[in-house]
Amino acid sequence: MSVQLASAALVGMCLASMPAFAQVPAEVEACRLSGLAALKERSPSIEHLTFDIQSLAISKADTRVEDTPIRMVVMGDAYLQRENSDKPNRFVCLVSDKGKVVLTFFTKQ
């Protein structure tokens, strides 16, 4: 019995020490892909767009932009990897009620 108790305590300590990884909504990936496509149109040298998951603010919303319902706002840091540079940028992404990206906006910090 004490071996089982010790084993359970060890497993509990291991699980408690593991980092917690929050599940990122699919809309975040939609924001990233939409943003990358838009950026590549203006700057074909951009090869990658990475969101800093720890900086993300993902907020449910119940608002509209004219006639378009907005159900999620995603904000955070993004890294645009070009051929020779990788600079942090802030971004805002608006997602409609159907999961479609309505707007992705990037700005340098």
What does the H/E/C string look like for the chain?
CHHHHHHHHHHHHHHHHCCCCCCCCHHHHHHHHHHHHHHHHHCCCCCEEEECHHHCEEEEEEEEECCEEEEEEEEEEEEEECCCCEEEEEEEEEEECCCCEEEEEEEEC
Cα distance between residue 1 and residue 77, in whole Å: 51
Output the pTM of the full model.
Answer: 0.72
pLDDT digit string (tens) for the chain, length 109 residues: 443 433 333 334 433 333 445 688 899 999 999 999 999 998 898 888 999 999 999 999 999 999 999 999 999 999 987 655 566 789 999 999 999 999 999 988 6
Q: At 32, list the tokens.
A: 């990233």
Provide the 10 A C-beta neighbour count for residue 93: 26
